[in-house]
Amino acid sequence: MGGAIEFCTLGMFILDDIEFDDGKPPVYGIAGGAGTHAVVGARLVAGPEHSKAVSWIVDVGSDFPQPILDQIQSWNTSCMIRVDKSRLTTRAWNGYGANEKRNFKYLTPKLRLEPEMLSDEQVTSKSFHMVCSSERAIRIVEEISRRRKVLQPDQTSKPVFVWEPVPDRCTPEDQDKFLAACRVVDIVSPNELELGMMFGRPGWNENNNGDREIVHKILRSGIGEDGNGAIVIRAGKHGCYAYGKGQRRIWLPAYHQPTPEGQSSVVDPTGAGNSFLGALAQGMVSSDDRLPMQIITSNLAGSATWSKLIDTWGNKSQVLKALICAISAAGFAVEQIGVPNVSRTEDGSECWNGTRFTERLHMYTQRLCKVLEESSQTQNWLTE
């Protein structure tokens, strides 16, 4: 069955308790964790036709709620459920303060996923999502690569590794380890705060020359085995910035934008970054004949700026389409507390929060076409 899996995460399932300081009522014991949210992102891009291509591990303790298990199984993913009634399910507290600043702590002992726990089928996945320290990222890549060589000694293709650094290890002391880990993954994606912290700054701003030099330093050090990987900086309500070697760069706005009255559809940002990266990883390995990629290609075909971006990124241009999938998926993640709700219409179409993913993708790419053309008048997207 090697090659049947397209996405696999080493992020955990966690029962989340979430508390806010802005008057929103708290919620307790909902489906969460980096792995869960990443799977939702990948599952949105894969669609119901390829849902079994999305794989993960869920550790079920004695207190695991049956409704959440039913919810997980309704996604129809390749989910390995491991039951251990002698322990509690991993649970964590999330506290949100001003400017969406998140505080986090585990409430029960965590059961971290290791590459040795993956099945042979999962090890042969086309893409992997990791949220971990630099040292662990290197070890995961090495162990998965070792096992793949044993299972498929004649296989020359390599999987896509998408790495999300853990916030508490984004420090100047870890900078050299961070750069070393970047060289073994294909995409590294800190958020703007974490990237700044890694280099001793309060945050990262695309318009600051010193902050832009941080990106150049990372690219000079190398991302990926061939140095042609990308850094994707997640910037919340400001969208994302992606950079690659050879003057490759792009900015994409967030899916949800405030109304003229200042209203927003964002309810809770928990898990949005994970969903973004799960969708990004799945988008990196989704073929052009699938509907999401056809929508992107068709709707942006008339944009001269998009065509130039495709040419600039060359054989790495799949990143651009994957980023659009990621932005669209993250838009679902923030609309409620917890994971988005999946349902089916009378005609059998799959909807998340009442909307088809492909419909969101269609609306976003139509808006993006205008944004790219307007931006090209005031900002040179094609050179550093």
- Name 249's bridge partners: 243
Phi, psi of 155 (to 5 degrees): -80, 130
pLDDT of the residue at 2: 40
How are strands ordered across the β-sheet holding 91-96? Answer: 27-32, 14-20, 91-96, 102-106
What is the rounded radius of gyration, in angstroms, for the C-alpha atoms of the chain?
Answer: 20
pLDDT of residue 357: 98
262, amino acid identity: G
Output the pLDDT for position 59: 97
Q: CA angle 62-67-71, nearest 5°?
A: 115
CA angle 338, 343, 345 (to 5 degrees): 150
Burial category of 49 from C-beta neighbours within 10 Å (exposed 0-12, middle 13-18, buried 19 and up): exposed
The per-residue pLDDT for 149 is 96
Residues making up the chain, counted from first to last: 384
Q: In angstroms, rounded to a whole number, what is the distance separating the alpha carbons of residues 235 and 233?
A: 6
Q: Which is nearest to 138 in space by CA: 171, 181, 177?
A: 181
The reported pLDDT for the residue numbered 261 is 65
What global pTM score does this model have?
Answer: 0.94
pLDDT in tens, the chain (384 residues): 345 999 999 999 999 999 988 778 899 999 999 999 999 999 999 999 999 999 999 999 999 999 999 999 999 999 999 999 999 999 999 898 766 677 889 999 999 999 999 999 999 999 999 999 999 999 999 999 999 999 999 988 899 999 999 999 999 999 999 999 999 999 999 999 999 999 999 999 999 999 999 999 999 999 999 999 999 999 999 999 999 998 899 999 999 987 776 667 888 888 999 999 999 999 999 999 999 999 999 999 999 999 999 999 999 999 999 999 999 999 999 999 999 999 999 898 999 999 999 999 999 999 999 998 887 655 554 444
pLDDT of 296 reads 98
CB proximity list for 284: less than 8 A, separation 6 or greater = 127, 160, 162, 186, 187, 318, 319, 322
> Which residue segments constitute the domains of the chain, with CATH numbers given?
7-376 (3.40.1190.20)
pLDDT value for 14: 97
What are the structure tokens assigned to 39, written together? Answer: 């799977």
